[in-house]
């Protein structure tokens, strides 16, 4: 149990375009989802926390107008990178937590390359 | 402030034992996690400690001392596939995880 999927697993896009990444909890209801970014050889950086039906809480330094997060249901959260630039190229990972869980269950990650 | 420290890199020999330390200073504490992350992959859960003491799970054990703000991950009978980064993370009262930078473990034959 406790499976989280992400789609797509990798994407290449041109500078200036927008990319949407989906995160789904397949067998549990995720009351809270977290979006992380990881640059090569660095640790995970929390970008934002989202609770179903409410606005996401962004970490300091993360532009909420550039990284749009929608947690519309208990099983789906999306991250849209708007007007992507090459410096947005990174590994984006989501995780989800159920109501009574202490553990965060991670998706497999999405590798974004902006050319 | 919030701070989690762990060594940047460690090297060990196949079949041996290695201990990866983690010290933390956080405003709240709701448990400490250890995750394993292979290059290019998402982290996978290894252990969770919320009370003091040792939790053993197969070849992996994790220890916590809340009074000292200290934890370690102990890996026994090392295998080549254990080469990975090991991430220490502390859950604060709001269930967000504060992450250490990770320890890259290199296993040599």
Closest-approach residue (CA) in chain B for A36: B42
Please write the tens of the pLDDT for every residue from B73-109.
999 999 999 999 999 999 887 667 888 999 999 999 9
Quote the minimal CA–CA distance from A99 to chain B in Å: 11
Closest-approach residue (CA) in chain B for A57: B96
Taking only the tens of pLDDT, chain A with its 115 residues reads 688 999 999 999 999 999 999 999 998 888 899 999 998 878 889 999 998 888 899 999 999 999 999 988 889 999 999 999 999 999 999 999 887 667 788 999 999 999 9
What are the CB-based long-range contacts (under 8 Å, 24+) for A22-25? A22/A76, A22/A77, A22/A78, A23/A76, A23/A77, A23/A78, A23/A79, A23/A94, A23/A96, A23/A107, A24/A75, A24/A76, A25/A74, A25/A75, A25/A76, A25/A96, A25/A98, A25/A105
B18 has a pLDDT exceeding 80: yes
Tokens read off for A11: 């994407």
Closest-approach residue (CA) in chain A for B46: A103
The pairing of beta strand A10-13 with beta strand A110-114: parallel
* B24 inside 8 A of chain A by CB: no
Predicted local confidence at residue A72, as pLDDT: 82
Please write the tens of the pLDDT for every residue from A11-30.
999 999 999 999 999 988 88
Tell me the chain B residues in contact with residue A106 when contact means C-beta distances shorter than 8 Å: 42-45
């Amino acid at each position: 149990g406790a499976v989280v999927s992400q789609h797509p697993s990798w994407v290449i896009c041109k500078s200036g375009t927008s990319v949407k990444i989906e995160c789904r909890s397949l067998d549990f209801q995720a009351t809270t989802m977290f979006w992380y970014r990881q640059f090569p050889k660095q640790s995970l950086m929390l970008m934002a926390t989202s609770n179903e039906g409410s606005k996401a809480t962004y970490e300091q330094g993360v532009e909420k107008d550039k990284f749009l997060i929608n947690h519309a249901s208990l099983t789906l959260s999306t991250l849209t990178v708007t007007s992507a630039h090459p410096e947005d190229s990174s590994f984006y990972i989501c995780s989800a937590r159920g109501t009574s869980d202490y553990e965060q269950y991670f998706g497999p990650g999405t590798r974004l390359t902006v050319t | 402030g919030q701070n989690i420290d762990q060594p940047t890199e460690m090297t060990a020999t196949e079949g041996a034992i290695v201990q990866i330390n983690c010290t933390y200073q956080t405003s709240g504490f709701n448990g400490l996690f250890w995750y394993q992350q292979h290059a290019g992959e998402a982290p996978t859960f290894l252990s969770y400690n919320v009370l003091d003491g040792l939790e053993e799970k197969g070849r992996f054990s994790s220890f916590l001392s809340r009074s000292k703000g200290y934890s370690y991950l102990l890996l026994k009978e090392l295998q080549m596939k254990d080469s990975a980064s090991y991430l220490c993370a502390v859950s604060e009262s709001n269930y967000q995880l504060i992450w250490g930078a990770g320890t890259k473990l290199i296993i040599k034959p």
